Structures are given as C-alpha cells and as structure tokens.
A = this chain, B = another copy of it.
Amino acid sequence: MAEKDAVREQIIQAAKKRFSHFGYAKTTMAEVAADCSMSPGNLYRFFPGKLDIAEAIATAEHEGHMGNMRGLSAADGKSVIERLREYFFEEMRYTYLMLEKNPRVYEMASVIAHERPQYANWMLANERKLLVELFDEAERNGEFRIDDKEFTAEMIQSATMKFRYPQLWSKLPLPKLERELDGVLKLLVNGLCAQRARTSPV
C-alpha cells in the first residue's frame, strides 16, 4: 500500500508539472503516463479519472494552505479579532497571488468547480472549522461570545465571498481589494451600530 501511494504521488507530481505548464485541457493522460513510464490504462488503477488527479493536486495544495493558516491563527499575543483579520487578508492574498502568477491554476480551479460542485463546499467547511476554533478561543478569553458559531462562520464566509475569488468578481488590483476587505471586516466585527458607540476598533 505504501508502494501504491508512492506511485500515486509520482503521478500527481507528473500531472502537476504538465497542468501548470500547458494547462489541464492540453495535458493528455498518455503524456502523464509516459512521464511516469507507464501505459495510459495503468493510470486508472491509481485514479478513477483525469479530474481526480486534478482534485488530488488541489487537495494537497489546500491542505498545505490550511496548515499555514492554522499557524497564523495560533499566533499568541494577538487578540482573536486581530487574528481573524490576518486570516482573511492572508486568504485573499494567497488566492490573488496564486492566480496572478499562473493562469493555469485558474483553469484547474474552474474545471473542478464546474465538474465537482461539492468540492468548493468541502474547502469552505474546512475553513469554518478553523473559524469556529477561533470563536471558541474568543469565548474562553472573554473577547466576545457567539451563540451559533458554525452559522456565524458561514455568514462571515458569505460576506467575504468577493475576496475569496478576487479576480473572478472584480478587476481591482490587490491594494484596492485590501482596502475593501478592511472595510468589510470592520463592518462585520463592529457592525453599523458600533460605529456610533465607537468601541473596540479593529
């Protein structure tokens, strides 16, 4: 089984190279197979299909990203509010720069989003776990208390959707997006009424 996993990894690496150089559509299973010194048919012993290879690549990427995010959100000496802020900023920059650097990534994301609609939901659910943990911590240290943490996390995701897929929604450059995200987060944290009270600015 360790053997099988090693071959899977080899396939993933070969496909990753091809996908990011030539694009998902322009890469053929025969090419990936040749890169791994095997026949096209043999790929199907390791993956159900081409799209599943792309999904495996995306999942590895996502898990690495989530690792970074967990590190960021575990930073001591900062309030939960501060860490939430940094979380969403980092999230936006990460996506923005990745798509800006390599348009092929956008192609892969589009294909997966189109053919596997549930996949994006799975990633969002993963991120919510992290948010809920942050809410728990805020409750413990008395910073703020939320009744339905899972639901609130979902609402924050809804409200920051525009920044999770930055170049899908607007052609704005990163600095403008950052200014907007800043404004939205302030609203989400303080609300409209709090602007009057002017308590706990972000």
Among B117, B154, B194, the residue within 8 A (CB) of A180 is B154
What is the chain B residue whose CB lies nearest that of A81? Answer: B192
Interface size class of A (residues with CB under 8 A): 20 to 34
State whether A189 touches B188 (Cβ < 8 A).
no
How many copies of this chain are found per oligomer?
2
Q: Which of A29-37, A51-59, A96-104, A142-150 contacts B (4 or more CB under 8 A)?
A: A142-150
What is the chain B residue whose CB lies nearest that of A156? Answer: B187
State whether B187 touches A190 (Cβ < 8 A).
no
Chain B positions within 8 Å of A156 at CB level? 187
Among B161, B183, B192, the residue within 8 A (CB) of A169 is B161
Within the assembled complex, what's the spacing in Å between the Cα atoms of A182 and B73? Answer: 28
A45 within 8 Å of B (CB atoms): no
Known: A154-B183, A169-B161, A183-B155. A199 touches B193 (CB 8 A): yes
Within the assembled complex, what's the spacing in Å between the Cα atoms of A147 and B186? Answer: 13
Within the assembled complex, what's the spacing in Å between the Cα atoms of A23 and B127? Answer: 40
Within the assembled complex, what's the spacing in Å between the Cα atoms of A199 and B158? Answer: 23
State whether B171 touches A187 (Cβ < 8 A).
no
State whether A195 touches B147 (Cβ < 8 A).
yes
State whether B117 touches A187 (Cβ < 8 A).
no
A162 within 8 Å of B (CB atoms): yes
A151 within 8 Å of B (CB atoms): yes
State whether A194 touches B193 (Cβ < 8 A).
yes
A60 within 8 Å of B (CB atoms): no
Nearest CB in chain B: distance from A50 CB, A: 24
A159 within 8 Å of B (CB atoms): yes
Q: 21 interchain pairs (CB within 8 A)?
A: A144-B192, A145-B195, A146-B195, A152-B192, A152-B195, A155-B180, A155-B184, A159-B159, A159-B162, A159-B187, A159-B188, A161-B162, A162-B162, A187-B188, A188-B192, A189-B191, A189-B192, A189-B193, A190-B194, A191-B194, A193-B199
